[in-house]
Amino acid sequence: MRAAMAVIPLMLLISASAFAGGEIQNVRHWTAPDQTRIVFDVSDGIVFTVHKETGRVFIDFQDTTLKDSLPSTIDMKKPAIEKIVLGRSPGDVLRAELHIPEGAESKVFRLKRFQDRPERVVVDLRLPALEKKESETRQAVKKDRRERIVIIDPGHGGDDPGALGRHGTKEKDVVLQIGRKLRDELNGREGYRAFLTRNGDYYVPFRKRVTIAKEYGADLFVSIHADAVKGTHARGSSVYALSLSGASNEAARLLATNENLSDIIGGVSEEESGEETDAILLNMFQTNTINRSMLFGSTVLDRLGDVGNIKFASVQHAPFRVLKLPDIPSVLVETAYISNPEEEKLLKHRLHQQKIAGAIADAITEFLPAEETGGPDGKIVKKGRSGREDRTAVALYPVKRGETLAGIAKKHDTTLAVLLKLNDMKIDDPLLWGRKIKVPAADSGEEAVQPKKTAGSREPASKRHFLTYRVKKGDSLGRIAREKQVALQVLLEANDMKRGDPLFVGRLLKIPVAGTAADTATAAEKPKKATANGREKMIYYRVKRGDNLTEIARRHHTSVENLMALNSIKRGDPLYVNRRIRVPSPSAP
């Protein structure tokens, strides 16, 4: 027996004549795994009422016509909706009849005109049983996890396209493609599992994105976006972390303002768009989590510098709603400027998308090594690697008053992840003054310690031919593999390494070479041709609009660190257009 009909008047005491000529201009839909959204684009101020029965939702539009191009029946067969029937009813009423399956729930609400979007009547149709099942699945992953959990959040979606490129490229499409590639890249690495907040063209409210991350028990949260400005010259990647007060600069403030409008553009009802995170809870966790987010963001920036231009040399911060996760390090990555025609073209290219995904994945494995993974009890446990230990020499360094692990890592040209692994520490462990910690060995006069070989260590292959290469600051295995034209997996096997292993500055790597004879000279130790005065010959380069140190270094076959040393530049220093900087001469060795 059908339930009693409920009538919900949405506008009362308004003259129907005032809305004569009202029109349904379009009917659209967005589908998520557990729900479907129906959107009626309508004339401003249209009057309608809603009636609900078992298996039906009726929306009666007063004094309204249907655009001629729209069909009278729309077959859907989507989650929570079977079809829509549009037709006239007694009393000059245009009725939209939605056929929904048993157990589906509906919510109908109005969205006022906003920016270039017309007034909309939105119907959200949900399957609570399926939502509950998905939530339970996420919580089961959290309970039984044995890998690092990374949540990837492709920005925008559905009615919110995000930024638009000059050639019509939509931000929501390219960031979903990059997000999927990042998920697949991480899932192919031992000790990591990655999940998307959305895996299709639909909008996920901020509150649900936060809920997804919490239910999975995420170790990291990465929101993927593409930037845009009015002009076409801005270029480069940037990384943002949460700020609970102001923004690091005006650009960060404007970006956060635009991104925080997504719930309005995407069409979230007022009751669903409230803040998920309690301000007191945020303040409790802000110092540790935001500091970790900044460290993680710095690692992401370093790796993105291997792929292309960098807009800001340091992590920026602003009050992004999507990053308000009190106990999960979270960053927002602006992969490139979609408003720049050149970068728009790159963002659509599959190979470039894969490079971006690979760079972010490298940063994740560097910041959060897979050896420390969550066990069934939620505690961090060690995950062995066949008893193999890294055979690079280390030294003991006495911690000084006021020092941090991040500062010590920079001082010794290494990463925070390497120090944590060497010292069997977690990122929030206290660092006591006077404690001696292990750091990669260098010519520093510190007490050297050489790790012992273990029984599980493998000897290198004796029948293959190799060059040797000394690792420099800023190197990554991916970059070395590309420069030496060797497959990354071959390089890993030649050096008895796995993805995520730390790469120490000064370490000697074996580079497999073709042929019958091996050149065993160390690449970093080959004799250099001396100039007349015994120094490397320099020229001056004038900085152009859009330049950054990474790109300039690449063009002049040198490193960012070398450029910084030559020109007394520090990380974060602005690089002004027309500034003259010293670079190695093309004729220099």
Q: Please name the residues in contact with 2: beta carbons below 8 A apart, sequence gap of 6 or more.
A: 53, 54
Q: What is the pLDDT of residues 490-506, one digit of tens each?
A: 788 888 887 667 777 77
- Asked if residue 228 lies in contact with residue 335, where contact means CB atoms within 8 angstroms, the answer is no
How far, rounded to the nearest angstrom, does the alpha carbon of residue 442 sit from its chain's CA centroid?
Answer: 34
Statement: residue 443 has pLDDT above 70: no
Question: Tokens 């990555």 sit at which residue?
Answer: 333
Mean pLDDT of 440-459: 49
**Token pair listed for 193:** 């599992």
Q: How far apart are CA 476 and CA 469, in angstroms?
A: 12
- Give the model's pLDDT for residue 244: 63
| Candidate from 12-21, 142-151, 484-493 with smallest mean pLDDT | 12-21
- Give the model's pLDDT for residue 64: 92
Phi, psi (degrees; rounded to nearest 5) at 549: -60, -35
Mean predicted lDDT score pLDDT of the chain: 77
- Asked if residue 23 lies in contact with residue 43, where contact means CB atoms within 8 angstroms, the answer is yes
- Give the model's pLDDT for residue 168: 94
Domains of the chain: 6-126 (2.60.40.3500), 147-364 (3.40.630.40), 390-449 (3.10.350.10), 466-525 (3.10.350.10), 538-584 (3.10.350.10)
- Asked if residue 121 lies in contact with residue 110, where contact means CB atoms within 8 angstroms, the answer is yes
Q: What is the pLDDT of residues 118-128, one digit of tens each?
A: 999 999 999 99
| Candidate from 85-89, 349-353, 414-418 with smallest mean pLDDT | 414-418
- Give the model's pLDDT for residue 271: 55
- Asked if residue 179 lies in contact with residue 173, where contact means CB atoms within 8 angstroms, the answer is no
Q: What one-character DSSP code corresponds to residue 18? A: G
Q: What is the pLDDT of residues 265-311, one digit of tens each?
A: 555 555 554 544 444 444 444 556 777 888 899 889 989 988 989 99
- Give the model's pLDDT for residue 178: 97
Question: In whole angstroms, how far apart are CA 321 and each of 97, 281, 581?
Answer: 36, 15, 40
**Token pair listed for 253:** 């403030």
- Give the model's pLDDT for residue 482: 72
Q: How far apart are CA 461 and CA 513, in angstroms?
A: 13
Q: How far apart are CA 308 and CA 345, in angstroms?
A: 13
Q: Provide, rounded to the nearest whole percent, the portion of the chain with pLDDT above 90.
A: 36
- In 450-545, which residue ranges form alpha helices assigned H by DSSP? 477-483, 488-494
The more confident residue out of 466 and 170 is 170
Mean pLDDT of 315-330: 77
Q: How many CB atoms lie within 10 A of CB 452?
A: 7
Q: What is the pLDDT of residues 189-215, one digit of tens each?
A: 888 999 999 999 999 988 889 899 999
Residue 84 bridge partners (DSSP):
74, 98
Please name the helix (run of DSSP H) or strand (run of DSSP E) that holds residue 144, with its range, or none: helix 128-144
Q: What is the pLDDT of residues 226-271, one digit of tens each?
A: 999 988 999 999 999 877 655 555 555 555 555 555 545 555 555 5
Q: C-alpha angle with apex 317: 315 to 319, nearest 5 degrees?
A: 155
| Candidate from 2-11, 289-298, 441-450, 472-481 with smallest mean pLDDT | 2-11
Question: Tokens 């220099």 sit at which residue?
Answer: 588
Statement: residue 370 has pLDDT above 90: no
Q: How far apart are CA 304 and CA 308, in angstroms?
A: 7
